[in-house]
Structure formats: structure tokens, C-alpha cells
Amino acid sequence: MSDPDELLYPTRTERVEDRRKERQQRKLVDEFFDHATLLAIGRLVNQGHFQSLDYPISTGKEGGVFRASGPNGFRAVKIYRIGNSIFRHVPPYVIEWLRREVGAMGNTARMIYAWTRREHTVLTALRAADVRVPQPFACFRNVLVMEFVGADGLPAPPMQEAVLGDPSAVYSDLTTQVHRMVTSAHLVHGDLSPYNVLVLEDRPFLIDVAQAISTEHPQARELLERDAAHFARYFRRLGVETSADEFFEAVGGRQLPVGVSA
């Protein structure tokens, strides 16, 4: 029988673990939930898009994605950090677009808000082109509400972490989705890799589309070639016979104009 003291009083290890979790939670709050963001979340809650944020699905340099619950089930809520660090690693064409959209680059909050609207707009365009992406529901300031991609309340993993039941079928499906993006939506993702494709029951969902670029842009072909190389390496490791050239051709890359290097 257990010692009553062990049941009533936490061990030192448990106390340390509790403090670690508290520090992580405080850090999460400090990084994401400033006053302006809380007001934006409150507005979206009042509009009925969700009722509560449950837990973080993923966090990164740009922001974090949280599972949310509401009257219509689960939602994915993406919150962009308000800070200059988000733009340190974006390509020059993104900076060009932001300058056109918001003017001077000094107002970081305005740039983040424009970036959030851009992701909502690109997702809407891709849905219209029948590309499998999360459905966007709403955005306000630096908060974007999207379809929750998952099953039984658990989020779908990124392709890099997923166990594919039929890699050849996933490869075929993925090239179909990217082909629609290129030839119907006339967009190139710009940063597509197994890290930003979710897989649910062997169905790929493209995500993180804010930096998508028009197929008419001089760098579009170069970026798609880079994406093709990423996936060719990934699928060859899974036994799928392909190459960067084959992937590039399968997704409609030959239709892109020959651009110039960055």
C-alpha cells in the first residue's frame, strides 16, 4: 500500500516539473497574448468563431497555431507574433509586397496585420481552385481562424513526422494539389516542403501559404524548382521513384515563364 505522504504531498521531481510547466505557460502568454492580441481574440470570440483556446499545436519564429473549441467544433487559430523578427527570414519579394501594401516599413503591427490578411486571401483563392488547404473562416489584426485539420480532436501531423500508409498515393495526391495551385490559382507556394504539408489519412493539406507568389513573378519558377527538389528527396527515401524534374513537370512547372535568379 502506498505511503499516505506520497499521495498527499508532491515529490521534489513533481514540484520541479510543475514549475517548469508554469514557466512555459508564462512564456507562451508573454510571447503571444499582448493586449492588442487579446482584444482581437475577444472580437473573434464575440463573432462566434470559437469560444476558447485549448492548447498550442505548434509554435515557431513567426507565430503559433492553437486548437480552439466552439459551437461548430474545433478550429485552428493562428496568431502571428508582433515583432520585427518575423521578417528577418522572408524573401525580398515579400518585403516588396508589404511596402506596396502598407507603405513605410516602420509600423510593425500594420505589417503583421497585412501579412495575416494575405494568408486569409491566399487560402480563399486556393480553396476556390479546389486545392486542399484549411478553410479560412475569419481574420482580425494578427489572428487567423481556420479549419482544424485533424481527427478525434488531435491535429494532423506534418508530412515530415507522419507515417504514410501509401507513399506513392500520397505523392500522386500531392502533385495534384500543387498542380491545381500552379495552373488554376496561378500561385507558387514559395516555401513548400514536408514540414508545411499536413497529412490526414494519407491526404496532404498545404499550409503556411502567406508567402505564395504569382506564377508570373520572375522568381516563381526558381522557387517551384526548389520545392520540387525537397519533395523528390523526401519521397525517394520512402521508395517512390521520382526526381526533381519529374515532380516539377507533374505540378505544371513547365508552364511557368523562365525567370531570373534572385
Q: Which residues are catalytic?
A: 191, 208
Q: Please report where in the chains the cell 515529490 appears, as a residue.
A: 11
3-state helix, strand, coil in the chain (%, to 5): 50, 20, 35
3-state secondary structure 11-63: CHHHHHHHHHHHHHHHHHHHHHCCHHHHHHHHHHHHCCCCCEEEEEEEECCCE
153 secondary structure, DSSP code: T
Q: Which three cell numbers stand for residue 139?
A: 481574420
Q: Which three cell numbers stand for residue 31?
A: 510571447
